[in-house]
Amino acid sequence: MARNKETLLLLLDVGPSMHSVLPEVEKVCSLLAEKKLIYSKYDEVGVILFGTEDTKNELTKEVGGYQNVVVLRDTKVVDGDLVEALQQLPRGTRDGDFLDAIIVGMDILIKKFGETDKKKKRICLITNALCPIKDSFEGTKEDQVITIAEQLAKHGMGMESIVVRGRLAGDANKRIMEENDVLLNIFSQKTCAKLVYVESPTSLFGALRTRNISPVTIFRGDLELSSKMKIKVWVYKKTSEEKFPTLKKYSDKAPPTDKFATHEVKVDYEYRSVEDTSKVVPPEGRIKGYRYGPQVVPIAPSEWDAVKFKPEKSVKLLGFTDAKNILRHYYMKDVNVFIADPGNTRAILAVSALARAMKEKNKVAIVRCVWRNGQGSVVVGVLTPNVSDKDNTPDSFYFNVLPFAEDVREFQFPSFNNFPASWQPNEQQQEAADNLVKMLDLAPSGKEEALQPNFTPNPVLERFYRYLELKSKHPDAAVPPLDETLKKMTEPDPEVLSQNKSVIDAFRRNFELKENPKLKKSTRRFLQEKPSGLKEGEGCGDIAAQPVDSIKDTSVVKVENIGNLTPVQDFENMMSCRDGPEWIGKAIKDMKKRIFDLVEDSFEGDNYPKALECLVALRKGCILEQEPKHFNDFLHHLCKFCQKNNLNCFCEFLASKELTLISKTEAIDSEVTDDEARNFLVKSEPKTV
Amino acid sequence: MELDPDDVFRDDEEDADNEFYREKEATKTLLVYLVDASPKMFSTSCPSGDQKDETHFQIAVSCISQSLKTQIINRSYDEVAICFFNTREKRNLQELNGVFIFNVAEREYLDRPTARLIKEFDCIEERFMKEIGSQNGIISGTRENSLYNALWVAQALLRKGSAKTADKRILLFTNEDDPFGNIKGATKIDMTRTTLQRAKDAQDLGISIELLPLSQPDEEFNVSLFFADLIGLEGDDLAQFLPLVGEKLVDMKDQLRKRMFTKRIVRKIAFSIANGLSIELNTYALIRPTIPGAITWLDSVSNCPLKAERSFICSDTGALVQEPLKRYQPYKNENIKISVEELSEIKRISTGQLRLLGFKPLSCLKDYHNLRPSTFIFPSDEEVFGSTCIFIALHRSMLRLERFAVAFYGSSSHPQLVALIAQFIFLNSVHDALAEPRWKDAMIEEMTHYQFPENSQKEIISHGGQVEPPGMHMIYLPYSEDIRHVEELYSDSNGAAPKATDDQIEKATALMKRIDLKDFSVCQFSNPALQRHYAVLQALALEEPDIPETIDETLPDEEGMAKPGVVSAVEEFKLSVYGDNYDEEKELVGNGKASEASKKRKAIADNAVKESANYDWDDLADNGKLKDLTVVELKYYLTAHSLPVAGKKEALISRILTHMGK
């Protein structure tokens, strides 16, 4: 862990022109700090602000100048204070000079580590680069930048610049902007610096790498074109899912006084014979059995090793084929990248030549790979060219795993032409669809492509880390709603929708949806349910507000079943269904069944509150419909059932919530007096205790 | 298929169980192979792959044998019966003439396939004439009707299990297109009528009858003579019924393979397009990695299955606890407790819907935008009329405009951005020269004569090749966290990275032309590891003495690579990029960039070889003196012989001894 320790300096532009995006900067930087607290808690982070009113840095004391640059936090190990500091960045008042900030940052790192220390050092600059940088005393600005870049490279400092532009930049001086762009570009050419431009809050959120994973090769060796010609390559993962963290199980068994309690839960597996469950079989008494039809074949590991498939480590070319033979949906897994051995110029050339030839002729290569010795399987995959458009980045290949014959299931589907004419779109409808596909454009020319995977962060992870931070301060905090910025990924952008309102309306007008009347099934799925994290009436607001012939509308009325999710609403909907008396009977019947299920399936009473809700609703319904007998009989029945099945706690729960039978005063048909009603549950209790 | 609305909110993990469950219960298949064993099946032959003639009977038997082997691996809960008709002997429940059910011990007539069934069925040919015998069952003058009997027997076998939970099928193999051809007059009409009625009765009971006709080399199987009525082919379907199957063994096997799997909906989802307009879709898993089945732990002495029991133990007190509902995450020197409900609340950021966000040109979908196998989506009008129409319209527009849709798929376990790619019917032939890969103009989505009505009774046979169904594929997109920027890692800070020259690219192009896989199809390779796994298992289950060799189809075509044209193209390319005197090792040293780690590793190995030479290992081993050496010394030997150096001292010693063969 300590080996990969990283020192990171955040250089944040807080000048006036940045104020509109600072909330996003705060979020993404605090997310970075929160992740560091978990995954690399020995990393050091410093924060430097520029564009501030004040000036506070060592260089200004030593040599003067470097105005409006504040070292907000000295470089030290990440802690909770850092998260808090990043969550509330001060707003600056001056135009920031990013070059000053870079020099201050570099100075801090050099002073801290000297020239020799090879630890990982990274500078991360977030700015809109709209303000002019000061003229230098000697040479041009370009010269100055080149000198700085050389220094950065010499000290092994990485640099990442995120430049906020487009809609977020507002009005800006074109000339200054271009000049700054040229300067920033020098960094990316002269050092291993990354430069990205973002135009939307979502992509700003996704642009900063919040967790650093040191890449590890999964293969180093030859790409064998034939037995005569080999190319030295290194294979890395290109995509790999950042998983939701696996939390440990918590045990509350330790006495609260025990300060050193770990609260861990160990999971233990015991193997018992099916026939004689008292006998525990130790690991050495077990053997693996493999299914073959109804039979289970025992095979010892040594036996298995002797006969199993043992391919040799290698990556072999099978041949080239037209790119169109490999359909996109065949890609099976996360993606790898093949890079020529970085120290081997001729290998780089060979990869480059192949990649460029493949791209030109629209071909792909099929390869067979065994990454490690002793690996029990082979993969067949496709290499597609990744021709670099940057001068200093070598060409490479992307590698995707292809399916084997066994992995493909050939289900047969009817051709669309075989569908009845009523299912075929007519000309007008087709035109409406064409317009929708054309106009609902996420990659308009001249603008940033929206929702690019490269700049789209995982909203679930963001929510988790934010919640974790929140909980560390307020242990009882509820799960916060989904971040407003990230909601753009889960719902269509209102801006795009409103721009294309006419196209969407035309589409809607042209197509008609009808619920299948014959189907006696709940269509609740088509209801628009509010996802958690959305405040009522917000979010999908304007979309949901104007249903024309939406299914949603009809289905509210047409609830024909009481489901698990919203039994009370379903019940009420059914009860209010006035188009037939049979609905009331059905509603009551279904509701009873649902309550039974809830009580029966309850685990340590977790369903009881819901069951109570249902009972209350049923009771209300029965009073309204003057059907007290239904409810009273059912409650009797339910209590009996509970007593029989050791579910007394449910009766107690009901008693404690003062649920009673329906009495004569409430419904004239009832045969139960007020007293009886009140005493019903209280009475049944002592009997069973 | 019934589907609980809550399904939409279910976790993928749970879903896996669920799928398995359904596989076993709801969509169990009961299958009767009905094989014509008339003399004509034995007398007609056609050339098979390796120039040897095979009779139709052999073809049918070998097809069934192969599909049994597939079935026992993939769908071992399905039940099968193998039934011959036009036989001399009879064996069936109703004691009907001319019908013989093949079976082995410890198995009912219709039951799950066992290793023994497969083994004995493999040698059926040798025993067939002696034990079962071939004899025409429909003879003029008698009123015997073996086809009628066969259908009746099959129907009786399929009485088992309810039609709701089981898919019941009869697969009929025959080369006789006119079974009552030699019968005249009223008898013929009568027999035809009763047989058709029998088939209809079976179909009314939910049994589907499928025909796998075998054509004579010189005469095509004429389905309209009799069987069209039997299997219920009409009008256009009849005209499209291609009785080509069976001319080649591979085609037949291919057909059978395709029919083994019944289509299964993974889930139903709502696709919300705009303004509350949402249509109904079904999702299907067309491509999923097949893995060897789960292992079962057995008692090594009795071979009895063992049951795993999981228990939770509190580390602090050692007490046995119930699975706790709280989880924790260490954070800032504290354990932050989060309940299971809170965790699922965090993950629930959207409803289970698929929500359209917009469209992008296909070029925006990069090759590295992938994480998991794709899912196929197809519209359904079952609950909402009009869904299919909207889907078709969007599908056509997306194809024509070369765009894909970006949508958010809010499943509860993996809420994710997805790309929806429109797919037109695409035929990709594996081994049939007749059907070269044909690409259609995107506007005309499909070839009219390849059509696949959903109703399996009216299924139309196409020969050879693999078919891409029309619909859309859902590709799961990575998030920014999931993408790594490795290429940039090796950006050269001193300016330009080497790029190939035009000449080098030209040589590479020439090489590419030489090693071109025409008609490459993704499913042309079997997974060699899986093949091996099951070959071993099969051999052990059947107690065969030898484990059959399996062929690794994924190895490069050495023969093709050795062709002079290829070799010279490789040479030219090599010369062009590597130059005359290319020495890989030297290249590394010359560049002075050999990785530090590998240099160090080499140094250690060299040192170990040197040190190792100082010991008389044989002597030490023979006298049991190895244990007197230090671990460091032992490691000299191991490193020098490139053996693993991990483990305790005893492990090292035993490894050395094993290596020395002592």
Chain A residue whose CA is closest to B451: A415
Band (pLDDT 50/70/90 cuts) for residue A335 is very high
Give the Cα separation of A156 and B509 in Å (integer): 39
Q: Does B496 touch chain A (CB under 8 A)?
A: yes
Residues above pLDDT 90, as percent of chain B: 2
- State the smallest CA–CA distance between residue B480 and chain A in angstroms: 4
Helix axes A674-688, A628-644, angle to 10 degrees: 10
Encode pLDDT of A624-653 as tens digits.
Answer: 777 788 888 888 888 887 777 777 777 777
More confident residue, B477 or A193: B477
CB within 8 Å: A238 and B484: yes
Chain A residue whose CA is closest to B424: A415
Place of tokens 């299955």: B305
Q: Give me the pLDDT at residue B324, please.
A: 67
More confident residue, A560 or A285: A285
Q: Give me the pLDDT at residue A110, please.
A: 83
- State the smallest CA–CA distance between residue A81 and chain B in angstroms: 10
CB within 8 Å: A353 and B577: yes
Of A271, A386, A402, the CB nearest to B308: A271
Topology given in CATH for the domain delimited by A215-412:
Ku70; Chain: A; Domain 2 (2.40.290)
Give the Cα separation of A564 and B278 in Å (integer): 22
- State the smallest CA–CA distance between residue A662 and chain B in angstroms: 33
Residues 381-410 of B with CB under 8 A from A: 381-390, 392-398, 400-401, 403, 405-406, 408, 410
Cα atoms in the 13 Å half-sphere on the side-chain side of B403:
25
3-state secondary structure of B634: helix
DSSP letters for A470-517: HHHH-TTPPPPPPPTTTHHHHS--HHHHHHTHHHHHHHHHH---EE-T
Give the Cα separation of A50 and A62 in Å (integer): 18
Phi, psi (rounded to 5 degrees) for A75: -70, 110
Catalytic residue annotation of B: 24
Closest by alpha carbon to A8, among A50, A47, A45, A49?
A: A45
Residues 480-539 of A with CB under 8 A from B: 482, 489-493, 496-497, 504-505, 507-508, 511-516, 519, 521-526, 528-533
Q: Which two tokens stand for residue B551?
A: 């062929």
Give the Cα separation of A32 and A205 in Å (integer): 11
Q: Does B105 touch chain A (CB under 8 A)?
A: no
Band (pLDDT 50/70/90 cuts) for residue B355 is confident
Residue A418 vs residues A256, B46, B454: alpha-carbon distances, Å: 70, 35, 10
- Is the pLDDT at A526 greater than 50? The verdict is no
CB within 8 Å: B261 and A411: yes
Task: Find the mean pLDDT for residues A342-368.
Answer: 88
B416-423 and B320-321 beta bridge pairing = unpaired
- Is the pLDDT at A161 greater than 80? The verdict is yes
Band (pLDDT 50/70/90 cuts) for residue B419 is very high
Enumerate the β-bridge partners of residue B46.
B54
CATH 3.40.640.10 fits A559-688, yes or no: no
Chain A residue whose CA is closest to B107: A294
Residues 546-605 of B with CB under 8 A from A: 547, 550, 552, 554-558, 561, 566-567, 570-571, 573-574, 576-579, 582, 584, 587-588, 591, 593-595
A68-82, A524-538, B132-146: the lowest-pLDDT one = A524-538
Q: Does B443 touch chain A (CB under 8 A)?
A: no
Residue B482 vs residues A379, A458, A689, B249, B411: alpha-carbon distances, Å: 22, 9, 58, 46, 18
* Residue intervals in chain A for CATH 3.40.50.410: 2-207
Enumerate the β-bridge partners of residue A38.
none
Whole-number average pLDDT of chain A: 78
Enumerate the β-bridge partners of residue B331.
B334
Encode pLDDT of A673-682 as tens digits.
Answer: 777 777 776 6
For chain A, the first-to-last Cα distance in angstroms comes to 59
Residues 498-527 of B with CB under 8 A from A: 498-501, 504-509, 511-512, 515-527
Band (pLDDT 50/70/90 cuts) for residue B164 is low
| Burial readout A608-624 (b: 16 or more C-beta within 10 A, e: otherwise) | bebbbebbebbbbbbbe
Give the Cα separation of B99 and B476 in Å (integer): 52
Q: Which residues from chain A sit within 8 angstroms of residue B421, using beta carbons?
A: 328-329
Domain B29-260 in this protein, CATH class: alpha beta
Q: Give me the pLDDT at residue B294, please.
A: 74
Q: DSSP class of residue A372?
A: S
Q: Does A413 touch chain B (CB under 8 A)?
A: yes
B28-36 and B79-85 beta bridge pairing = parallel
Residues 231-250 of B with CB under 8 A from A: none
| Chain-centre distance for alpha carbon B451 | 23
Give the Cα separation of B296 and B282 in Å (integer): 34
- State the smallest CA–CA distance between residue A663 and chain B in angstroms: 37
Q: Which residues from chain A sit within 8 angstroms of residue B397, using beta carbons?
A: 430, 433-434, 436-438
Chain A residue whose CA is closest to B418: A453
CB within 8 Å: B497 and A190: no
Domain B267-290+348-429+465-482 in this protein, CATH class: mainly beta
- State the smallest CA–CA distance between residue A149 and chain B in angstroms: 10
CB within 8 Å: A525 and B276: no
Q: Does A378 touch chain B (CB under 8 A)?
A: yes
User: What kind and span of H or E run contains B341?
Assistant: helix B340-347
- State the smallest CA–CA distance between residue B236 and chain A in angstroms: 11
Task: Find the mean pLDDT for residues B303-327.
Answer: 78
Give the Cα separation of B611 and B633 in Å (integer): 8
CB within 8 Å: B319 and A253: yes
Task: Find the mean pLDDT for residues A644-667.
Answer: 76
Whether the CB-CB separation of A289 and B536 falls below 8 Å is answered with: no
Handedness of CA B84, B90, B92, B97 (dihedral sign): positive
Task: Find the mean pLDDT for residues B595-600.
Answer: 65
CB within 8 Å: B316 and A253: yes
CB within 8 Å: B290 and A404: yes
Task: Find the mean pLDDT for residues A62-66.
Answer: 79
Place of tokens 């594996």: B430
Give the Cα separation of B468 and B445 in Å (integer): 11
Q: DSSP class of residue B660?
A: H
Q: Does B133 touch chain A (CB under 8 A)?
A: no
Q: DSSP class of residue B91?
A: B
- CATH superfamily for A2-207 is von Willebrand factor, type A domain (3.40.50.410)
- Is the pLDDT at A135 greater than 80? The verdict is no
DSSP letters for B477-529: PPPGGGB--HHHHT--TTSPPP---HHHHHHHHHHHHHTB-TT--GGGS--HH
Encode pLDDT of A296-324 as tens digits.
Answer: 888 887 878 888 888 888 898 888 888 88
Q: Give me the pLDDT at residue A401, please.
A: 92
CB within 8 Å: B448 and A252: no
Q: How many residues does chain A have?
A: 689
- State the smallest CA–CA distance between residue B483 and chain A in angstroms: 4
Query: Could you tell me the residue ranges of all domains in chain B?
Result: 29-260, 267-290+348-429+465-482, 489-582, 592-660
* Residue intervals in chain A for CATH 2.40.290.10: 215-412
Residue A40 vs residues A34, A214, A216: alpha-carbon distances, Å: 10, 12, 17
Closest by alpha carbon to B172, among B36, B67, B58?
A: B36
Q: Give me the pLDDT at residue A382, please.
A: 92
User: C-alpha dihedral over B619, B622, B627, B633, to 10 degrees?
Assistant: 30
Band (pLDDT 50/70/90 cuts) for residue B589 is very low
Q: Does B228 touch chain A (CB under 8 A)?
A: no
Query: Which CATH number is B489-582 given?
Result: 1.10.1600.10
Phi, psi (rounded to 5 degrees) for B169: -140, 150
Band (pLDDT 50/70/90 cuts) for residue B396 is confident
Q: Which residues from chain A sit within 8 angstroms of residue B507, using beta carbons?
A: 353
Interface test with B, best of A295, A382, A520 (most B CBs within 10 A): A295
Residue B410 vs residues A537, A617, B12, B269: alpha-carbon distances, Å: 19, 31, 12, 10
Helix axes A628-644, A648-656, angle to 10 degrees: 130
Whether the CB-CB separation of B370 and A331 falls below 8 Å is answered with: yes
Handedness of CA B319, B323, B329, B334 (dihedral sign): negative
Q: Give me the pLDDT at residue B3, please.
A: 34
Q: Under 8 Å CB-to-CB from B391, ≥6 apart: which residues?
A: B279, B281, B379
Phi, psi (rounded to 5 degrees) for B301: -90, -55
A463-477, A578-592, B120-134, B325-339: the lowest-pLDDT one = A578-592
